[in-house]
Chains A and B, each alone.
Chain A
């Protein structure tokens, strides 16, 4: 049977055996005319630390002949970071607690550098309309970093809830081998070589996210019988040494998206 009827105090509209609409139980989805909101949303730069890597090897040959190799690298690290921000897109009608529509996102500011040798790319397509109906959008995801956005009705407003997370910190911040550097006291194998390494988290442990094999961030050289001795030669490029590799952080991992949200508000009972 088709038509409109009152059943048990509720108005029911049917089309054959199909209930097209009923006021029984919860309300019908109910949404207003389409509205448009635009905003720029910003995810922050990572919280940085400096990570310092040092390695050396000193070999002694008969006749008090010495050869030393020293390697030092200063690396941009990203410390563990949990960040959240809510961006108000606009006011919702009184009583509305649902929003169903679509969102377009276009990244207008990209990370300045690679992150662990890879690009941080958007997970979602750019400049096209995707459904947004509550639920969260995974915006960026890579090893050790993730960014998300949720569009929903909170406190009488349509909002974009943003999240950004970085972690975990790396390990292996320690000394390995013979440290501090010292020259072997014999030229007889296998004890004619000393080597060691030292990994330092200068401002706290973090993920190594950017580095280069070029100066001033990196040094890899060797010398035979250097002036002052091989131990001093190697020590000078350890962290805090007089010839340590320099470090200026050129990276900025902040990103920005221009978003357009179109949709309708509604109410669930």
Chain B
């Protein structure tokens, strides 16, 4: 048991504090929300994030009650996506399409990584420097709107990739795409009673009864490095019966071409308005994360 409350801070700035409270078993790395109260009282106003974390989330960097998001990886994988075959177009004589769009007939599934964690983990899938959302369009041909969508998903043993294709009267070529997986390991069960330790021989820092250990990787937001863009809002907008997908790094994907039009009835053909996305979506904020 820790003999006393322990507080580490830069007393010149008095902003960022590491503090333990043996009476509650908590430890936290936080920014003081106010500059009033006893420095050494874990329940004082300036130390409120320690014992009232849920109402002081914005001041916390680490708290022993919470999950610091340990990362396994990045695990780099390559998927050799096969050719999406051509398929007869929808519409027929009643609804003639200027581009022969079909859809939904092609799906496939890949086992891409065995994680062995024994539970369904949270994870982030990355292509390029973008964190992917389910149904992510990884390949398309604007000539007629054929498109390959990829969704990564987790089981208790594996990370798998599900592929769905919007088909047209032309095939979509095979392609190899590199991805990375950041798998988030659940924090270990608390062990011992040490809230803060720095091993003088190895330099390994542990916090929160082993919840945090500096020899592991954690998801974090820091400048520099090779971060991944994590979306914090919409990455897809719909308009005119189709979608615009904007990757977290800002790349715009409008899948359906403006040449897509529909003509009703046989006996002559006169397409209606263009069927491409006609909204004005420009993306929502992202943050840059990494696990160095």
Q: B292 to A18, Cβ gap below 8 A?
A: yes
A222 contacts the other chain (CB 8 A): no
Q: A134 to B230, Cβ gap below 8 A?
A: yes
| A contact residues around B241 at 8 Å (CB) | 80, 143-146, 165-168, 207
> Could you tell me the distance between the alpha carbons of A60 and B13 in the complex, rounded to whole angstroms?
101
> Could you tell me the distance between the alpha carbons of A211 and B289 in the complex, rounded to whole angstroms?
50
B39 contacts the other chain (CB 8 A): no
Within 8 A of A (CB), among B109-165: 109, 120, 122-125, 131-137, 145, 147, 149, 151-155, 160, 162, 164
| A contact residues around B202 at 8 Å (CB) | 2
A215 contacts the other chain (CB 8 A): no
B274 contacts the other chain (CB 8 A): yes
A41 contacts the other chain (CB 8 A): no
A208 contacts the other chain (CB 8 A): yes
Q: A170 to B268, Cβ gap below 8 A?
A: no
Size class of the contact patch on chain A:
35 or more
Q: B232 to A134, Cβ gap below 8 A?
A: yes
What residue of chain B has the Cβ atom nearest to residue A93's Cβ? B54
Q: B275 to A168, Cβ gap below 8 A?
A: yes
What residue of chain A has the Cβ atom nearest to residue B248's Cβ? A135
Stretch of B40-48, B77-85, B169-177, B218-226 with 4 or more beta carbons under 8 angstroms from chain A: B218-226
Q: Tally of A-B residue pairs with Cβ under 8 A?
A: 378
Q: A28 to B61, Cβ gap below 8 A?
A: yes
Given contacts A6-B8, A18-B292, A26-B221, contact A53 B266 (CB under 8 A): yes
A147 contacts the other chain (CB 8 A): yes
Which of B233, B260, B272 is the one whose CB lies under 8 Å from A171? B272
A205 contacts the other chain (CB 8 A): yes
| B contact residues around A145 at 8 Å (CB) | 241
| A contact residues around B105 at 8 Å (CB) | 118
Q: A173 to B264, Cβ gap below 8 A?
A: yes
| B contact residues around A29 at 8 Å (CB) | 69, 218-221, 289
Q: Tell me the minimal C-beta distance from A95 to chain B in angstroms.
A: 4
Given contacts A24-B222, A168-B240, contact A124 B266 (CB under 8 A): no
Within 8 A of A (CB), among B212-243: 212, 214-223, 230-243
A-B contact pairs, 20 of them (CB 8 A): A4-B205, A4-B214, A20-B218, A25-B221, A25-B223, A29-B218, A34-B67, A77-B264, A80-B240, A121-B104, A128-B153, A138-B243, A143-B103, A144-B242, A144-B275, A167-B275, A169-B262, A172-B272, A174-B268, A267-B57
Residues of A whose CB lies within 8 Å of any CB of B are: 1-4, 6, 9-11, 13-16, 18-34, 51, 53, 55, 73, 75, 77, 80, 82, 93-98, 100-103, 115-125, 128-139, 141-148, 150, 152, 161, 163-174, 176-177, 196-197, 199, 201, 205, 207-209, 211, 262-269
